[in-house]
Structure 1
Amino acid sequence: MDDRHETRVEAPRLTSLSHGGGCGCKIAPGVLAELLATQASPWPNAAFADLLVGRETADDAAVYRLNDEQAIVATTDFFMPIVDDPYDFGRIAAANALSDLYAMGARPILALALVGMPIDVLPRETIAAILRGGESVCLAAGIPVAGGHSIDSVEPIYGLAALGVVHPARVKRNSTARIGDVLVLGKPLGVGILSAALKKNVLDRAGYDAMVDSTTRLNRPGIALAQMSDVHALTDVTGFGLLGHALELARGATCGIRLRYRDLPWLEGVEALARQGIATGASARNWASYGAEAELDPALPDVARALLTDPQTSGGLLAACAPHAVEDVLACFRAEGFVRAAAIGEVVGGKPRIVVD
């Protein structure tokens, strides 16, 4: 039985209540870097020796070693509506938050809900449907929503604080790629463009269904990838777009990355919408933040920049693996239903930079 139902009073479109949606709400990477530069050292002193992963490489979650066999992985992620259906919004936000755990190779164990809602604007039934949507995804991941926190806010906000566990030796970081590694992407790209089309009322039902299917698909392959020694680095592609998150890999490993544009998988209809000028504001902000560290082949389509910087909500895992392990990595993705997973580039020598040809 579907948990969705009609609200009892006329409710405003969720996307009409927010200035941005999904991971497109993220603070631009350049601005974020400036803010974090004013903070204390991300790895202060030996008193935090069990903090295996902090914010030093802009990784997906924090990792704290409990003992020789267990490390706790902690993350939080929340945003404003990317869709108008409240149940779908809850599902997408929850899947997106849990993705950070999978990107570290962790198995989720519990979540806490983070809820900010305009109580006098949205019907109670709408808010309840958002919460049910998030809980449904957590149940699919095998974990409870064990509590949370709520506030009355101007814009609707929903997400999770999530915890997972992993063996300390199997943590997958975004900073440990090796020269010669092949990059494998788990999901097709284009969520931001589809969400922008939805907000402009030009997205058809097929496009909407494809967007929701992609953004609610849990990145569970991350657990199996953590067991593979030939997978050297792992992250997920979210609000900074493919270029931004690939650049984080490059910076962490102090190497370059070459992407093959022809091999990039796109959600159906995305390229056509991009040619019509559909894009998010976050795409331009992303390019302004890191475009100087990217080189795009002049022969690429005019829309390449917008597509490569498109913010992905609940995007795919990006794995750096040894060349001989590519088929095993692809098989790992496909066993979980990620049929569009693809090898899209490689790690190369040189300074941290992204080349797309």
Structure 2
Amino acid sequence: MVDEIKLTQFSRFAGCGAKLGPGLLDKALCGLTQPKYPNLISDFSHAEDCGVYRLTDTIALVQTIDFFPPVCDDPWTFGRIAAANALSDIYAMGATPVSAVSVVCFPEEILDISYLRKIMEGAMDALVESGTALVGGHSVRDSEVKFGLSVNGTIHPDRVLQNNTWHDGDVLILTKPVGVGLVNTAARAAIASDEEERLALESMMRLNKHAAEVLSQFPVSACTDVTGFGLLGHACEMASDNPVGAVIEVDKVPLFPKVAEYADMGLIPAGAYTNIEFRSRFVDGYAQLEDAMRYVLFDPQTSGGLLAAVPRESASAILAALYKKGIEAAVIGYTDKTRKGLSVR
């Protein structure tokens, strides 16, 4: 029977996204060059969320791709989460998604095709909500289920949000809690409660569309989304090649219930260890954190929130607008020109 098989049993990496660590990616891309294209606004040379290519004076094409193994056992929910995660990169750049193609790896000898149908239905639900047309896809046989989307968006070339352009005097706003990787790990160990798992799944299924719409109405210095490299990993990318440093105030970071407790219990996704190995040395004050928070702040997120740097004087109005949309955002830090890189306290 279809409902007797768990999707996550087909993935050794279920719940952590199976994403390569930042160190491996750095090695793979180091020294890789391509010709200078005059219309290319953003490429792989900096850890941006998307590539951006100018088509006309008023339109730029924004492109991204993301796919991964199941993070839950319900195929519809997994499809919805995978689509929300892929769309998130477009929203982080300030763009509007317009089209998508699916990427599917599927063990057809093991799983009934109805699983793939449900995955696609969940993805389509998110695409319809975002106004994004599904125009095609590609599928291959594989021993593990993997699913995601390549998404195209559009934006005015002058309105592209980059991730490392914050200014002195900004504050950092986060639009979703942190800790879904830990909750997913605890759920697979049958330790997390149904309510805790539900909260994490609902967060992962929620599009960053409304948060992006709010931010588009205000000045934003820099923006990214928090995904596989964890909160501190993506904040490190924002601090990279920037003369202005920033501070993350740990006690202000919104967390899912019990994630610190799960970290203390050792229910830690493999990706968190990889993130810590390659990025923790760039975070001043990291060694002084409580043991649990060292893992929580590098917990790999799937379909996490937006992390935006905005002028301090705009923060109250932005938070009010986000709350009105039902988004429980929080100010979690600030920029400081007297510092270099990223710090925690």
Mapped partners of 1:69, 1:170: distance in 2: 10
Give the match for residue 3 of structure 1.
Answer: none
Mapped partners of 1:180, 1:110: distance in 2: 37
Deviates more, 1:66-75 or 1:304-313: 66-75
Per-residue deviation at 1:269?
2.5
Per-residue deviation at 1:54?
1.0
Deviates more, 1:259-268 or 1:19-28: 19-28
Per-residue deviation at 1:351?
6.5
Per-residue deviation at 1:38?
4.2
Which residue among 252, 256, 259 is the counterpart of 1:267? 256
CA contact (8 A) 2:17 2:69 kept: no
Structure 2 residue 82 is matched with structure 1 residue 93: yes
CA contact (8 A) 1:173 1:235 kept: yes
**Percent sequence identity over aligned pairs:** 38
CA contact (8 A) 2:165 2:221 kept: yes
CA contact (8 A) 1:51 1:65 kept: yes
Which residue among 111, 115, 118 is the counterpart of 1:126? 115
Per-residue deviation at 1:256?
1.9
Q: How many residues are treated as equivalent by the alignment?
A: 344
Which residue among 150, 169, 177 is the counterpart of 2:158? 169
Give the match for residue 133 of structure 2.
Answer: 144
Give the match for residue 117 of structure 1.
Answer: 106
Mapped partners of 2:175, 2:154: distance in 1: 22
Which residue among 212, 218, 227 is the counterpart of 1:222? 212
Give the match for residue 344 of structure 2.
Answer: 356
Alignment CA distance shift 1:108-1:180 (3 Å)? same
Q: TM-score, length-normalised on structure 2?
A: 0.95
Per-residue deviation at 1:188?
0.5
Give the match for residue 53 of structure 1.
Answer: 42
Structure 2 residue 239 is matched with structure 1 residue 250: yes
Alignment CA distance shift 1:351-1:35 (3 Å)? farther
Gaps of 5+ in 2: none
Give the match for residue 68 of structure 1.
Answer: 57
Give the match for residue 4 of structure 1.
Answer: none
CA contact (8 A) 2:261 2:292 kept: no
**SS of match in other structure, 1:330:** helix
Mapped partners of 1:99, 1:352: distance in 2: 28
Mapped partners of 2:55, 2:190: distance in 1: 49
**SS of match in other structure, 1:128:** helix
Alignment CA distance shift 1:293-1:268 (3 Å)? same
Deviates more, 1:22-31 or 1:308-317: 22-31
CA contact (8 A) 2:176 2:254 kept: yes
Q: Deviations over 1:26-83 (max 9, x none)?
A: 1010111011114225xx32xx111111122210011111112111111110000110
Q: Deviations over 1:299-337 (max 9, x none)?
A: 642201101110010000000011101112213322332
Q: Which amino acid aligns with 1:307?
A: V
Equivalent residue runs for 1:309-320 within 5 Å? 309-320=298-309
Gaps of 5+ in 1: 1-7
Mapped partners of 2:2, 2:172: distance in 1: 49
Mapped partners of 1:181, 1:251: distance in 2: 16
Mapped partners of 1:259, 1:320: distance in 2: 12
